[in-house]
Structure 1
Amino acid sequence: MPRTTRTTRLAGAAALALAAALTLSACGSSGGGSTAAAKVTQQKDDSPYQGTKLAKNFEKPDLQLTDTSGQPYDLRQQTNGKATLLFFGYTSCPDVCPTTMGDIGVAMKALSPEDRKKINVVFVSTDPQRDTPKVLRTWLDSMGTDFVGLTGDLAKVKTAARSLGIMIEDPVVNPDGTVTSTHGAQVLAFLPSDDKAHVLYMSGTEEKTYEHDLPLLAKGVAA
């Protein structure tokens, strides 16, 4: 079976209409090398969050896929009224996906049990052919046993991501049998008050930023 070895990340900054200037570095490849952090320059505002406050608050996508237990999962219905972190990626990613989800996992563990229950962390696969429910669950369990993993129709995933200004391309099988999956690497935070995205975290966001912001998300603090 082909294996995925490289991700290229697309910023999608124009579609996001951010109140910031965004610069996104290229992903690492199977040949190794480090991935430079994305640089985010925020405009001054009164937001209590260290993540980037969005100038446009995006609706939560109308997305129905399959969760890691093999059951249907309606993103809007099953995360309604709860703070939600949403990330698109794939389990064979060599760098940005495990790093991002790992940092969120560490920050979630720093929360009180009560606050952890108030935040959904949802990972949507951009490589559903290889990311079966079982594969997703095994991969996510190393970061957060309560993280939600979703897989299914890639066309639906691409449409949902596009509505958030996140670009995803079909995985490409290379001549050597490897697969390249190209996807945006933003994490979007939806507030429980209106189920809209208010805060953005670019790839390279430090763990301490999530540790600062997650308690605010759990409490539903306005951005």
Structure 2
Amino acid sequence: MRTTRVTAAALAVTAALTLSACGGSTGKTPVAEVNAPSRTKAATVLDRPFEKPDLVLTDTRGTSFDLRARTKGKPTLIYFGYTNCPDVCPLTMSNIAIAKKALPKADQDTVQVVFVTTDPERDTPDSLGKWLKAQDPGFIGLTGDFKAIQAGARSMGIGIDPPKKEKDGSIVSMHGAQVIAFSPKTDEGYVLYGEDTTADDYTKDLPKLIKGENP
């Protein structure tokens, strides 16, 4: 398999560009230092994995959810987005849902797919739960304090801006569009996927991610 080395600065530029995924660029780059990766077709395998965000938020049942504790030792995909996103967020979650359904039942029950809202004022536990249920009833939805969510995302090099109202009255939440995969062996985020990742890409890689292997 051929791999390409890119600099941390190059990946930071890529991450900054994906901040425009749900409406316009802010010109800001993620605060966290981004690791130099090796790259496959869809996946970026990080040389220095990210720690799982230390987040205690509220799930779609309205109960407290400790992200680190509840996903410890489990293959986990984490994505930051919002339910009113017109394009990238629903497509990303749909692609992951398609890939998850292609897994054996036991593996479907093992993998944790976590959607953390970047628009907590509008994404209440109830509305978030209804939106995710249409994608996959097993997906985990989390909402809570925006600043805590923003800090958690930044710890993985993902930029998030506060939701803002546009001139036409619509509310836009600017956020990075990366999906980070965490290994069940180390609980570290070692693989990154961009917004162009397809359902076929996830279908191909998920069996390996579940085992903590490189895709």
TM-score (norm 2): 0.83
Residue of structure 2 equivalent to 1:97: 89
| Amino acid in structure 2 at the alignment position of 1:67 | D
Q: Deviations over 1:41-62 (max 9, x none)?
A: x856xx7x85111122000000
Residue of structure 1 equivalent to 2:80: 88
**2:158·2:178 contact (CA, 8 Å) conserved in 1?**
yes
Residue 97 of structure 2 aligns to a residue in which SS?
A: helix
TM-score (norm 1): 0.80
Correspondence 1:78 to 2:106: no
Residue of structure 2 equivalent to 1:108: 100
Report how far residue 27 of structure 1 moved: 3.6
More strand by share: 1
Q: Which runs of 5+ in 1 are unaligned?
A: 1-12, 30-41
**2:164·2:172 contact (CA, 8 Å) conserved in 1?**
yes
Correspondence 1:150 to 2:151: no
Report how far residue 183 of structure 1 moved: 0.4
Match runs of 1:136-147 below 5 Å: 136-147=128-139
Q: RMSD value over aligned CA atoms?
A: 2.5
**2:49·2:190 contact (CA, 8 Å) conserved in 1?**
yes
Report how far residue 175 of structure 1 moved: 3.5
Residue of structure 1 equivalent to 2:196: 204
| Amino acid in structure 1 at the alignment position of 2:113 | V
Q: Which runs of 5+ in 2 are unaligned?
A: 1-6, 24-36
- Deviating 4+ runs (over 3 angstroms): 20-29
**Alpha-carbon distance in 2 for matches of 1:204, 1:50:** 8
Residue of structure 2 equivalent to 1:37: none
User: How many residues are treated as equivalent by the alignment?
Assistant: 195
**1:119·1:217 contact (CA, 8 Å) conserved in 2?**
no
